[in-house]
Structure 1
C-alpha cells in the first residue's frame, strides 16, 4: 500500500451470486439474446441492491483519499455486478444487522429473478428455469487500495479476504440446493444465532459433497423466509409485477420440490389483512388451490424430508379455509387440515390454537377447552391458552 493510505481490518458479511448454467445457456443463444439476458439480470439486481441499501439507511460517503487520512470514512457497504454474477459486502459495524440485510437482499433477488421475463418465458415454453445460486459468508477482511490502483488514480477502497473467496465457492456448491439455493457458511450461521429472533430456518447440508472443495466447513441452506419485508421494500412497480408473475408461475409449473421456498413466502403475504374483500377472497382461493395441489404431490418420504415446509404450507391452507368461510364445508376443511398438521407434529401449538378456533366456530366449546388444556400440558406457561380456557369455562 502507498504510504499514508491506511488499510482497515473490518468485519464484513459477503454475498456472492451467479446464474446457474448461464454459460451453457449462452452457447445456445446468439450473442444479442445472451446480452439481453445479462442486461435483465444486471438491471434487476442493481434495482434491488440500491433500493434496499437506501431503505435500510446504508450510505456510501467515502471521502476522497488524502495523504495521511483513512480512505474508508463513512463507507459501510460495497457491491459489484459483472456478467452473470454479483458480489455484495456490508460492514456497518453491526454484524447481526448486516447479516439480516444480506439475507433480505438475497431473498429479494432470488424472488425477482424467479419471476423474471427470462424465467417466465422458460415456463411458457416448458424449458428448465434458469436458477440463481448464492453463497454467504462473514469474517474479517481488509478494506484498502492496492498500490497499482493508486498509481492509476483509482482511490476507491476494495474488500479482500477469505470470506470473499469462500462466498464465491459456496455459491458454486449451492447448485446442489433443494430449497432456496442460498447457502451459508458455518461462520455466517454463528452470526445468525447471535440474533435468535431472526425469522428464518436453516437446513444443514451433507458436507461429504464438499470433499476436495471446502474442508471442515459445514454448509447450511436457507429454508424459511421473511414475508412483508421481502415484498414491501422491492423497487417501485416491481412488487405488482412479481405477484402477477407468481400467479402465472403457480399455474404453469408442476409442483416443484426445488422451489418450495416460494409457497410460504407468497402465502404469508396473501394471508395479510386486505381491505379489498374481492382481492382477499381471490388470494385465499389461490392458497387453497395451489397449496392443496402441491401437498397432494408429496410422498410420505418427501413429507418427512421437507416436514418444515409441508407443515408450514398445510397450516396456511387451513388458515385460508378458515378465513374464507364462504362455503358450507370451509370450517370443516380447516379443522381437518390442522388435524393433518398434528398427525405429523403433535406439539404444533399454532395448529392446536387454530383447531380450537374451528371448534368454537362449531360452538363445540368442550372440544375447544380440551385443546387449550392440551396446550397448557405442553406449555404450562402459555398465557394465551390459559386466558382462552378461562373464557371457555365461563360459557
Structure 2
C-alpha cells in the first residue's frame, strides 16, 4: 500500500475550499454560506451539535448532494461541474452504512475495489494491507454481519481507503463505539495523517477531536462560526482566565485585599472581569461559616470555577469555590482553603497581557501572590463561547482568525 497519494490540482492548493456554500431543504437553511479552507495534510475537526449541517456539508464535498448556492472545490475539482472526478480523490465514510449479509470481509472489500476498477493481484495486495492497517486481518474470512459495531466501523474505513484517495471525509466515525474502540479509531486516524492523507472528521465528542486534530471548524445552525488551526481557534474564542491566590496578612481584611487587587488589575486594559473565588478567613462567611452575604467574596461562577487544582503547594487548598457539596449546594466561600488565602478569578483578553503582567501588577500594589495559573482553554469551552458570543453576530474578529490560512466564518 502506498504511503502517499499523488496530489491533484495546482501545487500548494488547499485540499478543500468552499466559498459561500449554501444548501436549503424547502424552508430549512441547512448551510447558510460557509467559507472554509482545509490545507493539504490537515486533520480538520468539524464540530457541531446534531442538526448543525455537518453531514450536509460532507455530502456536498463528496459529490452526493447539490449545493443550493456558492461553490466548493476538492483537490482542485469543482464538486458541481467536475463531479465525475471526485470518486477518485475522495474516500467518504458516512455515519451509518449498510453491509451485505452474504459477503465475507474480503469479498466485501473486493466488491468495492472492483467498483473502482481495481482487480487482480495488486487489488488483493492492497486489500490485505488495509485489513492489516485496520486490524481486521484475522477476520478476513468472517461474514460481515457477524462483526461488532467497532469492527464494522474499521471495515468502513478500509472500504473508504480501497482506492487510495487523497481526502477522507469521515462523518461521526466514533459514533456508537465503546471507549476502547474509540481509542483504536483515534490511533488509526493518526496513522492516516502520518501517511499524508487530508482528513475531515465530524463529531460532537469534542475531547476526542482535541487529541488529534490540527485544525478545527465550529459549525452552528448552518454557519461556520470560526475556523483555523487548533491553537488559533482556542486563542481566539476561548475564555482566558487566571486563578490567583493571594496571602491575606493577619491584620488585613480579605475584603480590603480584594478591593486593592481589583483596583490594581483595573489598570490593565485587557482584564475584563475580576471575581473573588474564595476567602479563607471567617470574616466574610458569617457567624455560622456559611456563604457570605452579598459582599465581596462569593462562589466563583467564571470559567475557572471548576477544575481547581486540589492540594496545591502546602497550603491545603481544596476544591474550587462553587463546587457542589454533599448537599448539592455551592461550597461556602473559602471552604477547603488554608488560613489567610484569597482566590481571584481574573478574565483577560490576552494579546500582549500575560500571567506575568497580572502577577507583576499585583506585586506592585503590595499584595502577596502565592500562586498564578491560567485555567480554561478546552475545545468544549471554545465551542460554547463561540456559540454564545458569535452565533448572533454578523461579524467578529475571532471568526476571521485564520483568514487565508484555515478559513473563516461564512456570511449570510
* Alignment TM-score, normalising by the size of structure 2: 0.26
- Structure with a larger share of its residues in helix: 1
- Structure with a larger share of its residues in strand: 2
By relative contact order (CA 8 Å, sep 6+), the higher-ranking structure is 2
* Alignment TM-score, normalising by the size of structure 1: 0.26
